[in-house]
Amino acid sequence: MTKRSLLTYSAWLLLGGFVTAHAQNATAPAEAPAAPVVPAPAPAPVPVKEQAVIKTSKGEMTIEFWDDVAPKTVANFKKLAKEGFYNGTAFHRIIKGFMIQGGDPNTKDPSKEGVYGMGDPGYKIKAEFNEKKHERGVLSMARSMDEDSAGSQFFICLDPAPSLDLKYTGPQQFKCTGFGRVVKGEDVLLKIGDTPVASNGRERSKPTERVTVENVKIISAPESAAPPAPAPVTPAPAAK
């Protein structure tokens, strides 16, 4: 092969290699961009609902609130509890088979026994009568003849008291605002209800021993989780 032919052949090889490499690079698929990393969603917060723990000299009772039917009454009770308003008060009125009543600031001072049942926080709240029934363990607001005269005094039913219900139509109806119920400590409730009583000149409801409310604490407790939905049923394939 002549020198001229050799040079022509070498140039052809170089050009052919360049074209081949270029064609390969042109037809090679481009790399797809990396997918963005999306952080896993944070777990949904567990819903919480506040409860009250009433610590008495005879034990503790845990109260579940009915915010849905008496929100302002519940808010008032929580406010007073958080301020320590109820600490040191006493259940001044106990009627076996009916209810136990407390929340009067006058009961902090034994020398004020003559005005037990007349105390309040210095204001009144509007009634929130609702369709909840007054049954054993129901927490409700005590009031006078004026429907909007409740303030701080409350009572807890020992047994059903339908005459206090909104829908009661009998002659002795005396509507009261129920705003919660005992969910733990019913034995303590009944123990307080069994406290010996004497006459106060009007009725036999004066405890002969002091039952003190040591404190009322507002706590958060998780709500009961809803049961999981049933798994879908996959139908069996039709027979051929």
Whichever domain contains 134, its CATH number is: 2.40.100.10
167 contact partners, CB below 8 Å, separation of at least 6: 131
CA gap 162, 125 in Å, rounded: 23
10 pLDDT more than 60? no
User: Quick one: pLDDT at residue 35?
Assistant: 66
User: Quick one: pLDDT at residue 94?
Assistant: 98
The percentage of the chain sitting over the pLDDT mark of 70, rounded to a whole number, equals 75
Helix (H) or strand (E) holding 39: none
91 contact partners, CB below 8 Å, separation of at least 6: 56, 100, 101, 102, 192, 195, 207, 211, 213
Please answer whether residues 66 and 134 qualify as being in contact, where contact means their C-beta atoms are separated by less than 8 angstroms: no
What radius of gyration do the chain's Cα atoms show?
A: 38
7 pLDDT more than 70? no
pLDDT top residue among 47 and 108: 108
**Mean pLDDT, range 129-155, rounded to an integer:** 97
Q: Is residue 112 part of a domain?
A: yes
User: Quick one: pLDDT at residue 18?
Assistant: 43
CA gap 163, 157 in Å, rounded: 12
User: Quick one: pLDDT at residue 41?
Assistant: 75
Helix (H), strand (E) counts: the chain: 3, 11
Q: Is residue 62 part of a domain?
A: yes
| Nearest CA-CA partner of 190 in 94, 104, 107 | 94
Write out the residue range of the structural domain in which residue 182 sits.
52-222
**Mean pLDDT, range 95-108, rounded to an integer:** 98
**How many distinct structural domains can be found in the chain?**
1
Q: Is residue 199 part of a domain?
A: yes
Q: Is residue 33 part of a domain?
A: no
- What does DSSP assign to residue 75? H
pLDDT top residue among 195 and 169: 195
Q: How far is CA 153 from CA 18, 74, 93, 121, 139, in A?
A: 97, 13, 11, 9, 11
- Look at strands 154-157 and 138-141 and give their pairing: antiparallel
Q: Is residue 23 part of a domain?
A: no
4 pLDDT more than 70? no
pTM of the complete model:
0.75
170 pLDDT more than 80? yes
| Nearest CA-CA partner of 140 in 65, 50, 56 | 65
User: Quick one: pLDDT at residue 23?
Assistant: 45
Lowest mean pLDDT among 34-38, 79-83, 141-145: 34-38
pLDDT 10s digits, 42-87: 776 666 789 999 999 999 999 999 999 999 999 999 999 999 999 9
Q: Is residue 26 part of a domain?
A: no
Q: Is residue 69 part of a domain?
A: yes
* Sign of the dihedral defined by the CA atoms of residues 180, 165, 162, 209, in that order: positive
